[in-house]
Structure 1
Amino acid sequence: MPPSQPQSGYGYQQQPQGAPAAGGGGGGYNMHPNFGGFMNDPTAQMGFQVGKSAVMAGQEYMEQNFGRLVSVSALKHYFNVSNSYVVNKLYIVLFPWWHRPWSRQQRLSNNGQDGYFLPPREDTNSPDMYIPMMALVTYILLKTLLAGLRGAFDPELLATTFFTSVFVLLLEIGIIKLGTLLLNISSTSQIFDLVAYSGYKFVGVIISLLLSELLGHLGVGGRWASWVIFLYCFSANAFFLLRSLRYVLLPDQNGQGVGGGAAGYTVARSQRNRRTQFLFVYSYVVQFGFMLWLSKV
């Protein structure tokens, strides 16, 4: 009879002990005890332990090598920011003309002799990595969004924009390091300072792209308005770098020459002229080319 088959199947002795006594979904529920048996198998447990050990070993290896290449404690210094710092820093980057002073603040260590720079949270003139990182991510997303609004979206545009931005940063840092090497500038600034100052340009590029696109949709100004916005953002970034990097690339070396203060002043004066020219070229000429390149849609 037809009812006898479900009864005999339900009473089959090879069913796992954990099988439910209720009917209805019994046929589909039989897979779960088998999966649980696999999870409890000693061989499977050994495999999971080996995999877990391999993951932990790989994580430990990455942490050790990352610590060799990058000082984690130094990197945390550049992310020690506050909301007020971010707002004030953005204002300085976009409107640097009225900011005073530009020198970074220092604090003496416990021995009362060695000093260290204050973190961005406590010093507005301190460079940070938070704003450049967020500006870089925003620039990549904005560039892709604008391309999509024009009907030219391509998934590869995200990767292309990212690698272009990183290439610009690396090339710019290379130019600075080459200039400091040729001009014999012995600066105590870390590489993170140069990365931070190089990344602030993305703030001006974002503002330029946004306002130009907005005015274009409103039909106001035309191409000349976009150029006015770009030139202002470029000028603000160039002036910001000129005043900020003065304390990084142009350390005061008066009195370090051979033969006393007069000789030291003569050497420092001749070198300072070349260093000032390099800083001007970097802040205005180099930045103009990079910002114009990044602002192309």
Structure 2
Amino acid sequence: MQLSGQRQRKQVPNHGSFQDPNIMDTSAPPQMSNYGNMCNPYPTPPPQQQPQHYQQPSGNSFYNQEETYNMNVQEDMSMIYPSQQQQSQQQVFPGQQFVSDPVVANVAMQYGSQLADQGKQYVHGQLEKYFVLGKLQYYFAVDTAYVLKKLGLLIFPFAHKDWLRKTSQNEKGEETKAPPRLDVNAPDLYIPTMAFVTYILLAGFALGTKNKFTPEDLGVTASTAVVWLSIEILLLLFITYLLHVSTRLSYLDLFSYCGYKYFGMLVVIIFGLLLDSTGYYGALLYTGTTLVFFLVRALKFDISGRERRSSLYVLFVIALSQPVFTWWLTRHLV
């Protein structure tokens, strides 16, 4: 009996971490949280800390709260969607680093300036070829001395002896015809233009003296004179082509020589206003004679043909048509 009691009191030795599963450990109470997690298939996430910018400010003002909320929303949106300016600053083009090189930039600028100069020269050459803007500079290169000498030559050309055109050298060293300010025999467009404008104004004055003036008459007079001058030039060009007459005259030269009749028309109108029809026809006869003499002497060196008769025919057509047009454009003013 005593041996059996000792056997009952004999304890089972502890071998490390081994523990009998049938024996429950009552030394510590069970963790209810772990038991709950084991039983709940959807565990509750741990509470997250609220961002600082969503915390409401102290105070009871509703407007302050709303303003703070809007600022917080804008900050969040700027973090999620960056602005377009930031994207453009962050974006890098493939050739940006290459273009920013100062050596490459200088070469590109020099090349661009050379292309611009070449384009300017090409456009200038085309304008001089197809337009008369560059050529008009020659016909308006006049001064006061030239204008006075030319007007005296138109009024009394009989005493003039030297009718040959003078020559001069340009910037390239080429020999060209001298401009009007250096040669009184050179044609110009300054005197014909000024005489044409004065003729329009004087025609309006002459119509006013007869109580026939209307503002529309100035436009009619100007358009009529321009149309007849154009018809005259086209007719002369057609005659020279038809008769195979070669001429060194350009169409601007023809405009110049045919435009000198406007100065004679001024003289005719003034004498007509002062002396009526007698002064008109007397002035028409004198100015017509001087104009024919002037044109024959000035154009005979520039017109030549296969036959001398054809060139003389063209020359006299140009000269004799001027008094006819003078009478046609001034007869209704006296």
TM tier, smaller: 0.5 to 0.7
- 2:315 aligns with 279
Confirm or deny that 1:150 pairs with 2:150: no
Answer yes or no: is the 8 Å Cα contact 1:144–1:153 preserved in 2: yes
- 2:288 aligns with 234
Answer yes or no: is the 8 Å Cα contact 1:140–1:162 preserved in 2: yes
- 1:117 aligns with 177
Q: Which runs of 5+ in 1 are unaligned?
A: 1-62, 217-222, 254-267
- 1:294 aligns with 329
Q: Shift of the alpha carbon at 1:186?
A: 2.5
Q: Which runs of 5+ in 2 are unaligned?
A: 1-122
Residues of 1 paired with 2:300 and 2:254: CA distance? 12
Normalised TM-score (structure 1): 0.65
Residue in structure 1 matching 2:297, options 243, 254, 257: 243
- 1:77 aligns with 138
Residues of 2 paired with 1:147 and 1:278: CA distance? 36
> Residues 18-167 of structure 1 correspond to what in structure 2 (within 5 A)?
69-108=130-169, 114-167=174-227
* SS of equivalent residue, structure 2 residue 301: helix
Q: Shift of the alpha carbon at 1:147?
A: 0.2
Q: Shift of the alpha carbon at 1:280?
A: 1.3
Answer yes or no: is the 8 Å Cα contact 2:245–2:310 preserved in 1: no
Q: Assess, with a 3 A threshold, how the Cα gap between structure 1 residues 110 and 134 changes in structure 2: closer, same or farther.
A: closer
Q: Shift of the alpha carbon at 1:290?
A: 0.6
Greater relative CO (CA pairs within 8 A, separation 6+)? 1
Residues of 1 paired with 2:278 and 2:202: CA distance? 22
Answer yes or no: is the 8 Å Cα contact 2:240–2:314 preserved in 1: no
Residues of 2 paired with 1:181 and 1:121: CA distance? 32
Report the residue type matching 1:292 in the other structure: W
RMSD value over aligned CA atoms? 2.2
Q: Percent identity?
A: 34
* SS of equivalent residue, structure 1 residue 186: strand
Residues of 1 paired with 2:315 and 2:263: CA distance? 21
Residues of 2 paired with 1:237 and 1:206: CA distance? 13
- 2:102 aligns with none
Greater CA deviation, 231-240 or 100-109?
Answer: 100-109
Q: Shift of the alpha carbon at 1:283?
A: 0.9
Q: What do residues 166-215 of structure 1 show as CA deviations (whole Å, max 9, x unaligned)?
A: 01210111121012101212323222111111110000010011012112
Q: Alignment length, in residue pairs?
A: 209
Larger radius of gyration: 2
Answer yes or no: is the 8 Å Cα contact 2:268–2:283 preserved in 1: yes
Residues of 2 paired with 1:131 and 1:71: CA distance? 18
